[in-house]
Amino acid sequence: MKKLMLAVLLTGTWLLSVPSLHTQAARSGQASTASSKEDQGSIDKSVALLRQDLRSGKKQVIAASLRLTDAEATKFWPVYDQYSAELSKLGDQRYALLKEYANGFWTLTDNQALSLIKRSLSQDEQVAQLRSKYVPIVNKVLPGTKTATFFQLDRYINRLIELQVSGEIPVVQEQK
């Protein structure tokens, strides 16, 4: 399990350096518009693949840690897949916000910066609401201790990824 967690963390580290690389390219101003669009398309594809790998690694960690019976697994995994799909949509919004931040980093106005942070906090609230929505759903298919374990693992893995992301994102005041 430690190896899986390390793999998830390392993949997350690389994934999270992509917005930083994009910001560096925008700062240098060396790329033309056409190559910039090609670069962004390439980055988007790489991020999509890495996010898919992260979701797969996360599922493996959860599977190894929950110790589900066959009956529990039959009921749990479809619920997990539904939850993961909804969480992934929120992740899409988070990635779009990071791209917006990276694209405008050197030209952010006060209003743009406030808009970005407000939308980021709103996304945090949406993730918390999604988890709250799924606690009783998961608890219908798993006992309370396994429900709690699942959400602990989910939060733990996501926090590791978020920690890596936040370490790669330059703070707004550095732009001036």
Q: Look up the domain containing 145 and give its range.
A: 2-170
| Count of the separate structural domains present in the chain | 1
pLDDT tens-digit readout, 138-170: 999 999 999 999 999 999 999 988 888 777 777
Whether 56 maps to a domain, the answer reads yes
Tokens read off for 115: 């808009």
pLDDT of residue 84: 94
Closest of 150, 145, 141 to residue 84, by C-alpha: 150
Question: Which residue has 């006992």 as its token pair?
Answer: 143
Whether 175 maps to a domain, the answer reads no
Mean pLDDT score, 44-61: 80
pLDDT of residue 130: 98
